[in-house]
Homo-oligomer: A and B are copies of this chain.
């Protein structure tokens, strides 16, 4: 029921994902009288889905605390309950992020060794794709949090981007060791001293995000949220300027027509729908958040992210890394 165009967009997205991954099976949670008629028009999905009626809906403006208290029969809550009960391997929602995180924390609990869950996504770079986290779950972070984010980002990059040894960078305002706040400097020290399983690159700056200097960019939720949204805003500004440039003269219009196939390819590469699917990391279960403004293509991609995380063993891997982190260090004689 979450997202601006729900439930229609969610169902169509599930149908698209089903074509891509025919083994998928869905538990759909929401208002039966709205979903049933839509499902009739999607016979492929209907065959692969079970619809469970949910009385309540968590709205986009619900406060997380209210969503927890009053939303025990909401579609969002029931979907996450299904993950907790082992009925579903993951939950995908385009609903209220704060409520989703709050409910997921209460129902699924955080993994042993994780103090606070984080939100991660991937985004386009000059050389491919990178992961960035946290995107807003934690406004203020200590060094422990940042080191844990590095581990979670590493496991996420392996599962979703298929990398075997992702490089990790810590976002800072300079590459010198004296820059940045205390938590950033302490996390840098610990990552540089070595964390089992991680390939630490060092500090990176804002410009490195687009360059793709590292596979995983680690930062606190405030900075990460601002960075991601600034990148989105700059991309929009740029494409707006480009659109007006192509419309500014007859010759420019003609030029656009000739270059169109090449420009479409570029647009496809930067299509935000390709990067839809932020994961709530650090929980005992897989929960993926789609943009609320997503269309069905974007939602299908968010389901694809959840699929990759399940199939590529994200949870066992992160559990293993966390266990290695908390195990006593081997003494070399």
Q: Is the CB of B265 within 8 A of A259?
A: no
Let me know if A238 and B240 touch, CB within 8 A. Answer: no
Given A226-B173, A252-B262, A254-B258: A233 touches B245 (CB 8 Å cut-off): no
> Within residues 202 to 257 of chain A, which ones have a CB less than 8 A from any CB in chain B?
205-211, 219, 221-223, 225-242, 244-246, 248-249, 251-252, 254-257
- Nearest residue (CB) in B for A260 is B255
Contact: A235 with B238, CB < 8 Å?
yes
Contacts of A270 on B, CB cut-off 8 Å?
238, 241
- Are B233 and A211 touching (Cβ within 8 A)? yes
For residue A174, which residues in chain B have a CB less than 8 angstroms away from its CB? 136
Give the contacting residue for A233; candidates B173, B206, B254, B257; CB below 8 A: B206
Known contacts A231-B230, A265-B245: A181-B255 contact under CB 8 Å: no
Known: A255-B259, A261-B249, A265-B245. A180 touches B139 (CB 8 A): yes
A19 at interface by CB-CB < 8 Å: no
Q: How far is the CB of A98 from chain B (nearest CB, A)?
A: 9
User: Is there contact, CB below 8 Å, between A262 and B235?
Assistant: no
B252 touches A259 (CB 8 A): yes
Give complex CA distance A263, B248 in Å. 10
Q: Are A229 and B241 in contact (CB under 8 A)?
A: no
A124–B256 touching, CB < 8 Å: no
CB distance from A255 to the nearest CB of B (A): 3
Smallest Cβ-Cβ distance to A229: which chain B residue:
B206
With a CB–CB cut-off of 8 A, which chain B residues contact A269? 241
Distance between A22 CB and nearest chain B CB, rounded to angstroms:
33
A171 is an interface residue with CB less than 8 A from chain B? yes
Asked whether A140 is an interface residue with its Cβ less than 8 Å from the other chain, the reply is yes
Chain B residue numbers with a CB within 8 Å of A171 are 226
- Please state if B223 and A210 are interface contacts (CB–CB under 8 Å): no
Please indicate the chain B residues that have their CB under 8 angstroms from the CB of A229 in the complex: 173, 205-207
* B210 adjacent to A234 (CB under 8 Å): yes
8 A Cβ contacts from A96-120 to B: none
A residues 297-323 near B (Cβ < 8 Å) are none
Select A238's contact among B208, B238, B245, B259, beta carbons within 8 Å. B238
CB of A220 to closest CB in B, whole Å: 9
Which of the residues B221, B232, B234, B259 comes within 8 Å of A245, measured between beta carbons? B259
Chain A contacts with B in 123-173, Cβ cutoff 8 A: 124-126, 136, 139-140, 171, 173
Would you list 9 pairs from A and B whose C-beta atoms are within 8 A, ordered by A residue? A136-B174, A205-B229, A219-B226, A227-B227, A230-B230, A230-B231, A246-B262, A248-B262, A249-B262
Task: List the 6 closest A-B pairs by CB distance, nearest first.
Answer: A206-B229, A255-B259, A255-B258, A210-B233, A210-B237, A252-B262
